[in-house]
Structure 1
Amino acid sequence: MSEAVTSAPATPVAQARPAVAVVLSFAAGATDAFAFLQLGGIFTANMTGNLILVGLFQRPGYTTTLIGATVAVIVFALVAYLGFRLTLSRVGPSRGARLLLITATVVQVAVLAGYALTDRPLERALLCVFIALSSVAMACQTVIGRTIEARSGVTTTFVTGTLTSLMQNLANGKRDFRTVRTLSIVALVGGALSGALAVATDPLLGAALPLVPSLVALALLATRR
């Protein structure tokens, strides 16, 4: 008689990863909307956009744009490197994802609190501080998405790679990960729209909105359902 094989229960991260990727895509859209509209026209999730901004020397206020975009790219790259190192260490990807998401949430709280307490318009130095903090949060969330949902090719802070993977599979007649890729793209746009509406209502709401999906993602990672 063959021995019965008992499969190990799926971990909370394994069960929650598609939903987490979609929720973090919404967070990226909301964060970029707030950053672009309130932090000097800089993206803190989409680094491709910042690299383009560096080349637009005819843009009004180019010096501020150059400094802000440079801060965002450097901070994002450094934190992403450290985040990937964390997930590859003895901590492991599951615990690493939780630690990174907690870090991102705490940093977003700091952005909200600081933005609420400072006078606006922001001086250049404070602008760079908020850009750096927001970039830390987005880098952490990007590492989480690439770590726990690597197979689907979903990138939570930019959609070019996700859109390309979706179109490639459709052209090949494959259905793998079609739902999570499509929802991730829709969530990013929805997050940007929601962020813009929040900023139009009250800039402070724009700073607070990214906290909601972060807390939802934390809840998803903490439960098996």
Structure 2
Amino acid sequence: MISVSDLSSLYVQQSLLSTLLMGAPELGLVASHLSLSAVCLYSAVRTLQVHRGASAGFLLHAAASAIAIGCDLLWEETEGPSSLHSSSLWVAGIIGLPLLVFSFFWPNGDHLTANLVLGSALLLATFSGYLSQEAQMVASYFTRAGATLAILMISVFTGNSYGVLGSLALAAASFPFFLNAAEIPHFPAEMIRNCVYSVSFLMLHMALRTQISDES
């Protein structure tokens, strides 16, 4: 016969299990942000002696992911284009990715394209205060698409397999249709995106090190 204490113990265990399952998506999201921040920080340190522009680009993404944990997961969530989280993600995309593109083009001697990409990004960031929320979103999408295409193009021409894989992963994580198709119950799209971004930035870091070491 099951006693009252056994029933009470079983109820407590079920309650704890339910709490863990309900909190699993949020814990997974925190883990994905931590993983992305760690990968970007590692890539920033590893590329510091190779190319400081690339190191700065990785560092911007590491900071944006760390800020996401503080603003959206540990503190009360804030919304709107003026929030710290939205601003950090936007800056990481608008300036961080062009810095990576700059790092791919400059060592190959294409200084004109490198300066044009970085100059356009800095100009866009300077006048970001005059852009509406919709304009900022469009600018972010176009910047990511352009950076992905540029890295893919130069990686194909130079035979850099890491760059090809990294740019394809970056493209997959950047397009909304991929997130909608990849969203699985208990696994938010943002978590999947962070994991794909981690793979992408790790590949791009290896691509830069391989490209510059081959040229030297």
TM-score bucket (shorter structure): 0.3 to 0.5
Greater RCO (CA < 8 Å, at least 6 residues apart): 1
Tell me which protein shows more helix as a share of its residues. 2
Q: Computing the radius of gyration over CA atoms, which structure comes out larger, 1 or 2?
A: 2
